[in-house]
Structure 1
């Protein structure tokens, strides 16, 4: 029987092509790393191909400099029928000092899909510790908040009936 993997850490070196006009790693590069880690985490948990359904609460806390060692930590904190909520933290440091600092955090929802692109069932995650339980409760609250935000945002995307 396959063992599901709940978390993963990917490491990257911030390269010159990742820099924005201000001389720091641009947010798009960070978001790409986040998406890669979320995919690897979700695929490891579900054992299936997964697609990104949602990325939210992205908090850019501090800049990343070229040459930094970047670690993207991803962890399953909630599962639905076919979805997995992944909490991500991005830390960076000078590879010579290894004094890590938090640079970015967010939640990504991945959905497992079958060979036809239809949602596929994923193994259910059960909290094992008090911290796990708190993460689960926070994820459930975020589901409700996202529903409200989605409803409120509809005004921006509706066609006027004139």
Structure 2
């Protein structure tokens, strides 16, 4: 039911095909997993098909090794009229061990769309817990920073 599923965790095994030339999991594979989790989270919250409008602040904290179990946790931290800010954390560790360590974190903005691809309303999420209020406020600050950056990009010369 829309407006009730706020978070999700997807799990993947890091496979040999996911590795880069250095033998660690390629950042592009991690970004693909992030996009999948963001979509699942946004679709679960909105009850609609969603598209990625923005992915930013991707911070690779620690490498992921082939054979590790990867957990990608996604959580709605702010909603607009048609958009959802999704906070994501990626953790990894070997399946034979209980410990999972943080490898990556970022924020993704997803937009719900109708059958014609036009933005469509999403249920509002209203934070009540102190940590959720902090996350929402952080999303608001990041939104302001993105606006400032896009204004500065207007000064870049055209190729």
Tell me the TM-score normalized by structure 2.
0.96
Q: Which residue of 2 aligns with 1:110?
A: 110
The within-5 A match list for 1:50-89 is 50-89=50-89
Q: Does 1:119 align with 2:119?
A: yes
Distance 1:3 1:148, change over 3 A: closer
**1-10 or 117-126: which moved more?**
1-10
Unpaired runs of 5+ in structure 1?
none
Unpaired runs of 5+ in structure 2?
none
Q: Which residue of 1 aligns with 2:149?
A: 149
8 A Cα contact 2:7 2:74, kept in partner: yes
Deviation at 1:2, TM superposition (A): 4.8
Tell me the TM-score normalized by structure 1.
0.95
In 1, Cα distance between equivalents of 2:12 and 2:139:
28
Distance 1:124 1:3, change over 3 A: closer
In 2, Cα distance between equivalents of 1:20 and 1:28:
9
8 A Cα contact 1:42 1:110, kept in partner: yes
In 2, Cα distance between equivalents of 1:9 and 1:128:
22
In 1, Cα distance between equivalents of 2:38 and 2:108:
7
The superposition leaves residues 87-114 of structure 1 with CA deviations (integer Å, 9 ceiling, x where unpaired) of: 0000000110121100000000000000
Structure 1 runs (4+) deviating above 6 angstroms are none
Q: What is the number of residues matched between the two proteins?
A: 159
8 A Cα contact 2:3 2:125, kept in partner: no
